[in-house]
């Protein structure tokens, strides 16, 4: 990245990075075709025919990425070096405005018996309303000048943010990851984190008292203590003026971490493309995120994933009619409906530009992209390729 920073140069050329979340799939045993291969996608196929394609490894072969690393890699950041903690990711997911120095942890309400042993790590999956109510009871506690903020996520899940001076996230988790055990004491994993551990333990004691009467949610577990990472911005690295169009908050949050400006948009693909059109003249980089494919994959709903891919294809002219200098279409990872979750399988990518040296591939699919001109490569190289195709990179060396 230091290297790209040396040779990147601003220009009016526009790049649109379209991320169809969880795009890659696995073949349906009945048809032998993946979700993308099953979908009827004339517009994506046309773009593929005129462009160049390949397969990306979000992290490296065999590694299944979470949404954080998957997206950081797409933006050109080493996802292993710049790791985003669970607490921070949950906070981004609810649009919580994390401040520098804040320590975020992921919380689970749980059930303990009279001996203090955990009987249900998820407190019977209490309702969202109940979760909100309990968070209000915890929110605003002050322990040794450290303010504790609690916000509902979903069902038994919530976040706790510790805001104060000199806090350090290097502490252990309280969740023993099993029932029949007591919540674990939080310990400092580095000397400078001893006050964080102390405050977290005091918070847990106090919370235990407050929650005692709220069975089944009569205790809580904390994990993933983390701090907003300090990332160089995409403007610093690529000299871009970048923006994000995403209907889900977590992706807007991830994009904000690398300095993208958030464009207000609606919930449908059409809304997102309308937002792109409205803002097209104000930015030179757009990260356009489509969530539905990943959710369908996680639900194991092969047919719904196919349909959403077809919806994206149908809406695609709204993007291509703007004639961006560079269009990239890919995913942050695979989410095969058959696996009902993220997977390690490489993800199809297509790149379209005037200078892309088209290959012979005419169909956007896992099997066709295998013989694409981009070959198989790490997702962290997508940005240099996009920048090169936008003629935004100077020659290296004389």
Residue ranges binding its own copies (CB under 8 A): 3, 7, 26-27, 34, 55, 59-70, 79-80, 83-86, 89-90, 224, 336, 338-339, 341-345, 355, 357-360, 366-367, 370-371, 373-377, 381, 383-389, 393-398
Residue 227 or 343 having the CB closest to its own copies: 343
Residue 178 or 396 having the CB closest to its own copies: 396
CB of 59 to its own copies, least distance (A): 6
User: 3-state class of 368 per DSSP?
Assistant: helix
Residue 313 or 359 having the CB closest to its own copies: 359
List residues bridging with 192 in a β-sheet: none
CB 260 within 8 A of CB 266: no
Q: Are strands 326-330 and 15-20 parallel, antiparallel or unpaired?
A: parallel
Which residues, other chains included, contact 115 with Cβ-Cβ below 8 Å and sequence gap of 6+?
none
CB of 94 to its own copies, least distance (A): 14
Quick one: DSSP state of residue 34?
-
CB of 242 to its own copies, least distance (A): 17
Residue 63 or 185 having the CB closest to its own copies: 63
Q: Which residues of 214-223 are buried (b: 16+ CB within 10 A; e: fewer)?
A: bebbbbbbbb
User: By C-alpha distance, which of 197, 177, 122 is closest to 154?
Assistant: 122
CB of 241 to its own copies, least distance (A): 20
Residue 170 or 210 having the CB closest to its own copies: 170
CB of 207 to its own copies, least distance (A): 23
DSSP string, 145-192: TEEEEEEEEETTEEEEEEESTT----B--S--SSSSSPPPPP-BSSGG
CB 334 within 8 A of CB 344: yes
CB of 309 to its own copies, least distance (A): 17
- Count of CA atoms in the C-beta half-sphere (13 A) of 212: 8
The torsion of the CA quartet 259, 260, 264, 270, rounded to 10 degrees, works out to -160
Residue bearing tokens 């207000």? 264
Residue 292 or 336 having the CB closest to its own copies: 336
H or E segment and range at residue 297: helix 292-298
Quick one: DSSP state of residue 83?
P
CB 261 within 8 A of CB 283: yes
CB of 166 to its own copies, least distance (A): 26
Residue 27 or 208 having the CB closest to its own copies: 27
CB of 84 to its own copies, least distance (A): 7
CB of 359 to its own copies, least distance (A): 7
**What are 258's two structure tokens?**
């690398």
DSSP string, 196-250: HHHHHHHHHHHHHHHHTTSTTS-EEEEEEEEE------HHHHH---EEEEESSHH
Residue 102 or 366 having the CB closest to its own copies: 366
Residue 143 or 338 having the CB closest to its own copies: 338
CB 289 within 8 A of CB 251: yes
Residue 57 or 272 having the CB closest to its own copies: 57
CB of 15 to its own copies, least distance (A): 12
């Amino acid at each position: 990245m230091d290297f790209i920073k040396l040779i990147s140069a601003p220009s009016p050329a526009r790049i649109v990075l379209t991320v169809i979340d969880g795009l890659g799939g696995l073949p349906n045993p009945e048809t032998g075709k993946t979700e993308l291969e099953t979908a009827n996608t004339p517009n994506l196929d046309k773009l593929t025919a005129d462009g160049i394609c390949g397969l990306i490894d979000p992290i490296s072969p065999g590694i299944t990425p979470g949404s954080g690393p998957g997206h950081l890699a797409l933006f050109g950041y080493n996802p292993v070096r710049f790791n985003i903690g669970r607490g921070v990711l949950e906070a981004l997911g609810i649009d919580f405005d994390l401040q520098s120095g804040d320590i975020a942890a992921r919380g689970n309400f749980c059930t303990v018996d009279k001996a203090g042993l955990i009987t249900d790590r998820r407190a019977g999956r209490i309702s969202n309303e109940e979760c909100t109510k309990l968070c209000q009871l915890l929110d605003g506690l002050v322990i040794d000048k450290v303010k504790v903020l609690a916000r509902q996520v979903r069902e038994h899940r919530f976040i706790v943010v510790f805001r104060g001076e000199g806090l350090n996230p290097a502490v252990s988790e309280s969740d023993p990851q099993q029932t029949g055990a007591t919540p674990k004491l939080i310990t400092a994993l580095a000397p400078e984190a001893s006050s964080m551990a102390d405050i977290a333990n005091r918070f847990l004691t106090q919370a235990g008292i407050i929650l005692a009467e709220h069975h089944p949610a009569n205790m809580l577990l904390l994990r993933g203590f983390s701090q907003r990472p300090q990332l160089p911005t995409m403007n610093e690295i690529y000299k871009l003026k970048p923006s994000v169009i995403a209907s889900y908050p977590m992706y807007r949050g991830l994009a904000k971490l690398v300095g993208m400006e958030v464009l207000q948009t609606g919930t449908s693909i059409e809304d997102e493309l309308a937002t792109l059109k409205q803002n097209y003249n104000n930015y030179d980089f757009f990260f356009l995120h489509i969530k539905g494919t990943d959710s369908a994959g996680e639900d194991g709903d092969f047919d719904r994933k196919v349909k959403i891919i077809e919806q994206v294809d149908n809406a695609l002219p709204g993007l291509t009619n703007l004639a961006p200098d560079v269009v990239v279409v890919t995913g942050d990872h695979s989410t095969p409906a058959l696996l009902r979750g993220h997977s390690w399988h490489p993800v199809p990518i297509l790149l379209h530009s005037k200078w892309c040296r088209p290959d012979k591939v005419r169909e956007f699919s896992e099997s066709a992209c295998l013989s694409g001109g981009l070959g198989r490569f790490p997702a962290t190289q997508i940005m240099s390729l996009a920048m090169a195709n936008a003629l935004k990179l100077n020659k290296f060396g004389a």
